[in-house]
Amino acid sequence: MNAESMLCRKTLTSIEGHVLAPEWREPRIGIVHLGIGNFHRAHEAVYTEEAMLAAGGDWAICGVTLQGDVTKRDALMAQDGLYSVVERGPQGVRTTVVRALREVLALPYDRARLFDLLAAPDVRIVSLTVTEKGYCRDTQTGDVDLDHPGVAHDLKHPEEPGTVPGILVAALRTRRDAGIAPFTVLSCDNLSHNGAALRQVVCSYARMLDAALATWIEHQVAFPSTMVDRIVPATTEADRDAAAEALGLRDEVPVPCEPFRQWVIEDRFPAGRPAWERVGAQLVDDVMPFELAKLRMLNGTHSTLAYLSMLAGFATIDEAISFAPLHTLIHSMMTHEIAPTLSVPPSFDLMAYRDALLERYANPALKHRCAQIAMDGSQKIPPRLLATIATRLERGQPISRLALGVGAWFVFLRGRADDGTPFSISDPLASRLTALATNAGNAPESLVDALLGCRDVFSSELASNEACQRALIEAVTQLSGGAKTAIENAAKFG
């Protein structure tokens, strides 16, 4: 395939109907984004390009992959940073080429260029989508995990960091020493209190190296919290073919997504920011009510759907939610067990939000794989399900539907569906968790007891709660008769 048939800056003039606006100046890089995955490219990058079109500013993005794999960097840079966002909804498909991404780097290969950018006064925001495990966070204390191999390396070699806290602290030290104002650190991950959580990790890491630097970061660096939402599946070859058909050009890195998107941001940006509020983002004083609603209503039910589906044999979320008893279960879970734990502004209609989520799940065009959502359960289960369970237990309220979601994760860790089909467990604690699940045997009580003993997931208070234990044992007992049967039984109670 020759260069002229590839998506790149030279070929933009041939696809003016697929860009957000024909006028475009090349802005300077103002944002460095760690974790240049599909979600960022369908979310923050789109908002940022729209904001620059609406109000100007030099907020082009340099994306960084931290995985040591140059494939994504090379594919994006071969296209001059361009890629298409393919929105699929009930009304059809819309393909838009995004231009906000100017450069892509890969650690450890591009370390010098990355730190040059992080020290540049023009770079005023460093944002992240690295998933929960990328924070290298001790889930019990909230501080940096000193047992993490990457953290141990970075503390010994602080000038050659590879972890998120190591990179941020090294860059902030350089800016402080040079008298350059710090950048704002913007977490866009599904992590409770994500800004505050990242601040604690970064400051605790800095304290291990330089107490004065840690104090400077605490007082001078802003870590606003955010709530992000858009369903963005992994890219498939079919997505590449669809993008090529729409554009008449080959795009190796298109991003499929749903039309819906949401971004709620705590408005603390001492060094400035794009005019995101001009293009649909909500800038607020307190993100927490929105964050909890999304974390518990969407993410909690997403995980529940994923684990029940992996056992029952549903491959995608739309396939799962089309199973009427599972639709009923998830509807009831949001209505009766999750929504009552939330306190939201009067303008936020939780029942309308519930209905919108169910409609989004049923979108047949997305094909969001349950296996993708099921990854990293040890990181996702505590904020998505266990926090809601703890709130209801404190109030003496039942948790049977929530417990079924957690119980499905327990059974999922055995690594096989109800029909015997094996699947792999992708999780930072995979070896430990699968050993616990396998060695526990078939008795529901043994499985629950073994996994409740994992302190990286369950607090001692929650693990010792008798009501929690009983609900989980009942859930696993129900699941031992097959996930579909368990779902049907749970749905009978509305």
The pLDDT of residue 68: 85
Q: In whole angstroms, what is the distance from residue 287 CA to residue 279 CA? A: 18
Which residue(s) pair with 228 in the sheet?
263
Which residue(s) pair with 63 in the sheet?
33, 104
The pLDDT of residue 380: 95
- Tokens standing for residue 375: 């990854």
* Cα Rg of the chain (Å, integer): 23
pLDDT, one tens digit per residue, over 100-143 is 999 999 999 999 999 999 999 999 999 999 999 999 999 889 99
CATH number at residue 248: 3.40.50.720
CATH number at residue 463: 1.10.1040.10
Same domain, 213 and 302: no
Read off φ and ψ for residue 250, nearest 5 degrees.
-85, 125
Same domain, 446 and 484: yes
Q: In whole angstroms, what is the distance from residue 342 CA to residue 362 CA? A: 24
The pLDDT of residue 306: 98
Q: In whole angstroms, what is the distance from residue 73 CA to residue 87 CA? A: 23
The pLDDT of residue 98: 98
| Residue in 441, 437, 417 with CA at minimum distance from that of residue 427 | 437
Structural domain boundaries enclosing 144? 3-284
Same domain, 269 and 366: no
Cα distances (Å, whole numbers) of residue 130 to 7, 55, 203: 27, 29, 18
Residue numbers of the chain with a pLDDT score lower than 70: 1-4, 494
Count of domains observed in the chain: 2
Which residue(s) pair with 98 in the sheet?
83
Which among 267, 284, 301 is the end of a domain?
284
Which among 247, 265, 284 is the end of a domain?
284
pLDDT, one tens digit per residue, over 343-373 is 998 888 999 999 999 999 999 988 899 999 9
- CB within 8 A of 347, min separation 6: which ones? none
Which residue(s) pair with 82 in the sheet?
none
Which residue(s) pair with 405 in the sheet?
none
Which among 219, 254, 284 is the end of a domain?
284
The pLDDT of residue 273: 98
| Residue in 191, 144, 133, 134 with CA at minimum distance from that of residue 429 | 133
Same domain, 433 and 404: yes
Give Cα 283 to chain centroid, integer Å. 20
- Tokens standing for residue 307: 């684990």
Same domain, 293 and 266: no
How many Cα atoms within 13 Å fall on the side-chain side of residue 346? 0
- Tokens standing for residue 65: 């992959």
Which residue(s) pair with 226 in the sheet?
265
The pLDDT of residue 447: 98
Same domain, 275 and 293: no
